[in-house]
Structures are given as structure tokens and as C-alpha cells.
Structure 1
């Protein structure tokens, strides 16, 4: 039995495509990395998480739930809390741009989390936050009005990434908007 010669089809542009397809490939590759804001500023295609961040200083909190309501409907996204840390010490080899710096972090007794809410509007919302201890007993059960604000991950001269809001819970259970 004779072997068949199977070749992979090769894209060979014809006519005007022969001249323009390299430009199209270049534009597509470039568009994936940056966006021109229209005023000469290059903006990266960095994403922004849309939702509500929660920082908890209360040392007995181990878990929590959050409900966010606007325009007559509510969402109950997952809220996982993770141990928080802070910068304890920094050192730098100098002050020039070529010098290096380092930081050492240490754990705190707090926790932090983020509730992803893709449809969160940049207008007032009602939030119910419940924080529980190890036994499942409620330590915090509060309603708070928040106003998410647009976040600009590349700075104010680039397009907004989406709205975010933040809640801080003190060691005494007090709640403030961030």
C-alpha cells in the first residue's frame, strides 16, 4: 500500500488580503496588550474585580456571609475570609531607581475577603453582613448602606475597570465604609 502524502493546508492570502493581513495580525496582537485612552496615554488591559471587599479586625471571626441589594433584587455571593498580614519591616539598599527594597510581613489577628458581584452598580446599595465565630454564633449581623465607586486600575486617564466598595469591621464589631 502506497503512503499518502498528507500536507497541512497553508494560508495563502490573495488579492488585497495579501497586502493587508499582516497589518491585521499586528493590530490584533497589539490590541491585546494596551488600549489608547485617546489622549496619548497607553492603558493596559488589566482587569478589575467588581464587588465588595471586607476587612475584619475582630479576632474571633472565622466565617461570614454577605447579601447586597439594589433595584429590588439581591445577590448573595461567596465570602471567603483569609488571614490578614501587614508589613512589619522594610529595607532598601539605596534611593536610586536601580536599588532594591524588600519587605517582611507578619500575620495579624484579622481576616480579609472579597465578594465578587459582576452586576454591582456604581450607586447606593444595601448590604447585610453576618460574621460568625468558630461555633457558628453570630458576632456581627449588620445592615449598612454602601456606595460603590468606579476603580481606575491604570489611573484616572484610562477607562474605568468597574465599581468596588469596602467594609471594615473593627475589633469591637463596629462597621465603617471604606
Structure 2
């Protein structure tokens, strides 16, 4: 009877070990339900960034246009602080610091993976227009789970000087 109990207790462990055995040998990786929004990332560079609080955009393709607005938040960049050694297990660090830009994301749910026209209007806190620019960019699919999974929303980036 003891051997039977031991076999039943060991069976789930053996199954678990068998499932994990091929994890690093090129087996298919799981894709999660994570997604990415379709739209246009907007970066407002200094000196225009000073006083900029929002961006309104009109995104057009194939006779269809989407109007959307996004608040702007301070942009950041990573500054490498180095590592405490050269070993693969060494501890490395970085800190985020302001880069002087303001950034936002204007959603365009049906954005195709093709060239689109973007007209962006940067506004100040009082609602007045600080800058207007029109440009063409090519939206591309994003892969929030990696290239081995289905793509997420199509995105493009516009930088305003």
C-alpha cells in the first residue's frame, strides 16, 4: 500500500518535470493575452517642450481620418551606472533621468500598417496652439509578446522639433 501511495504522490512531480524539460530546447513559447494599442507616439523636443501640455492629432489614411488627443508627460532616458564586475552574474544598474522632451500617445484603433498622414497640434496649458506640423509616417505592427506571437496594434512615431 505504501508503494502505491508513493507512486501517486510521485506522478504529478514526474509530469511537472516532463513538462519543463523542453522549455529551453527551442520548444514553442506561450503567447499571453497582452496587447498593444494602435496609434502614434508623439515626442516634443526642447525648446517647444517647455510649456507643452497636450497634443491633438489627426491621423489619415485611405480617405479615413481619426482625431484624438493625449496629455504630454516628461520624457525620460536611461543612464547607465555600470556593473560591479564582469561576471555574467554581476549586478548592473541604470537610473532614469529627464531628457527635456514631452511625450504622449495618440490612439488610432484601426491604424493600418502603411504610410499615414499625421497633423499634430501641440497646446499650452491655457489651450493655445504652440505648434502645428503635418508629416507622413509608416505605421508598423508591434509584438508585445515577441515575434513568435501574433502582432499587437500598429504604431508609428512623430518627433516635433
TM-score w.r.t. the length of structure 2 is 0.70
CA distance in 2, matches of 1:59, 1:51: 21
Cα deviation, residue 72, structure 1: 2.2
More divergent stretch after superposition (116-125 vs 130-139)? 130-139
SS at match of 1:62: strand
Q: Residue 157 of structure 1 aligns with which residue?
A: 148
Q: Write the deviation string for residues 18-47 of structure 1: whole angstroms up to 9, x where unpaired.
A: xxxxxxxxxxxxxxxxxxxxx843143232
RMSD over aligned CA atoms reads 2.2
> Does structure 1 residue 146 correspond to structure 2 residue 146?
no
Q: Which runs of 5+ in 1 are unaligned?
A: 1-38, 171-178
> Does structure 1 residue 95 correspond to structure 2 residue 83?
no
> Does structure 1 residue 129 correspond to structure 2 residue 116?
no
1:132–1:116 distance in 2 versus 1, CA, 3 Å: same
Assess if the C-alpha contact under 8 Å between 2:53 and 2:71 holds in 1: no
Q: Write the deviation string for residues 100-139 of structure 1: whole angstroms up to 9, x where unpaired.
A: 2221222232111111222111122221100123444323
Greater strand content:
2
SS at match of 1:77: strand
Q: Which runs of 5+ in 2 are unaligned?
A: 1-25
Q: Write the deviation string for residues 77-98 of structure 1: whole angstroms up to 9, x where unpaired.
A: 2311101122234232223333
Count of paired positions: 132
SS at match of 1:79: strand
More divergent stretch after superposition (92-101 vs 110-119)? 92-101
CA distance in 1, matches of 2:124, 2:102: 12
1:1-178 residue pairs with structure 2 within 5 A? 40-45=27-32, 46-57=34-45, 58-60=48-50, 61-170=52-161
Q: Residue 3 of structure 2 aligns with which residue?
A: none
CA distance in 1, matches of 2:27, 2:79: 39
TM-score w.r.t. the length of structure 1 is 0.64
- Runs of 4+ in structure 1 deviating by more than 4 angstroms, as ranges, are none
Assess if the C-alpha contact under 8 Å between 2:118 and 2:134 holds in 1: yes
CA distance in 1, matches of 2:114, 2:70: 21
